[in-house]
Structure 1
């Protein structure tokens, strides 16, 4: 499972600097994401800086709700924002996922090419627990989760872009 990857790339009708603002506005993620219902900065941090921490809460279709701690590993305004996800204290646990947004201007000035990626591992995760509970279906479980992540990433990016465009009108 470690290294399993999901990625989407979409072109949106939003300038790169405006999309960066949305991607890094943790207070709004619950408005856009089908899975992440909340995110907020921790420990006095208030914006995307390498080393900054935030918490996030996710709700899954089966009703499971999780809370994680994330540490920013990339913050290159307005092109790159990434973080690692921990089930507990980052000082004592291995991260179980890395998320990243790469933004680049598209052919038109008012467009952005958005690439969002997810890489699993190496730490323990819900996906790993599901595979341990049903090893005969490990491949199908992993593929199902990666497909779900791609759908959720696409839905989130599209919702962000719609929201930004609606505020410009």
Structure 2
């Protein structure tokens, strides 16, 4: 009998959306600035651009993250402060901003975070997406010693956590964009 695995492609594929009372250009001006992520992300508390022109394809961002002990508490995930590097893979003002997580050696992984923006009802619909096609370096480390049953439980709980993070992020971005004074919104 063939052995089956819980690791199917894509490993994660989630999205959420929110209507924002601002133009696609206004929304993009906010979400395309990863250094501001600490204003809306449940885990990223900030960071800085470490190479390339900030916000352009090929630019690299080093994010500072903070994860509590309650997040999938039984799994061996990183807790406290930790850092990531990501590379911008799409930057189309007013339309889409996407970045790929990188390995410790700087290679792009099949792990893409994205913001897509569409004009709608006098404002914009912002869609936040996450797709991990194959396990990243981090996921491989987390699940290395897990049984298939534990992996299945982990991926289910991590998917739930990610879905919650997407929704929280969008609500916070909506507040940030809609509460900006008109003169700042352009």
In the superposition, the TM-score normalised over structure 1's length comes to 0.86
Unaligned runs of 5+ in 1: none
* Higher CA-based Rg: 2
Q: Paired residue for 1:95?
A: 109
- Following superposition, the deviation at residue 148 of structure 1 comes to 0.9
Distance 2:128 2:163 in 1: 9
1:133 aligns with 2:149: no
- The normalised TM-score by structure 2 is 0.79
The corresponding residue for 1:35 is: 43
Structure 2: where are the runs of 5+ without partners?
1-6, 70-78
Match of 2:27 in 1: 19
Would the aligned equivalents of 1:127 and 1:142 in 2 still touch at CA under 8 Å? no
> Could you tell me how far 1:94 is from its partner in structure 2?
4.9
Find 2:166's aligned residue among 145, 153, 157.
153
Between the two proteins, the alignment pairs up a number of residues equal to 164
Q: Does 1:72 align with 2:79?
A: no
Q: 1:87–1:58: structure 2 CA closer, same or farther, 3 Å change rule?
A: farther
Instruction: Check the 8 A contact 2:18/2:174 in 1, yes or no.
Output: no
1:121, distance to aligned residue in structure 2 (A):
4.5
Alignment check: 8 A CA contact 1:16 1:79 kept: yes
Q: CA RMSD in A?
A: 1.9
1:158/1:36 CA distance change after superposition, 3 Å:
same
- Could you tell me how far 1:96 is from its partner in structure 2? 5.0
CA distance in 1, matches of 2:80, 2:145: 16
Change (3 A) 1:58 1:96: farther
Q: 1:144 to 1:58 in 2, by over 3 A?
A: same
What CA distance in whole angstroms lies between the structure 2 residues aligned with 1:65 and 1:123?
22
Q: Hey, what's the Cα distance between the residues in 2 that align with 1:101 and 1:94? A: 18
Cα–Cα, structure 1 residues 27 and 41, in superposed 2: closer, same or farther, change >3 Å?
A: same
CA gap 1:89/1:130 in 2 versus in 1, 3 angstroms: closer
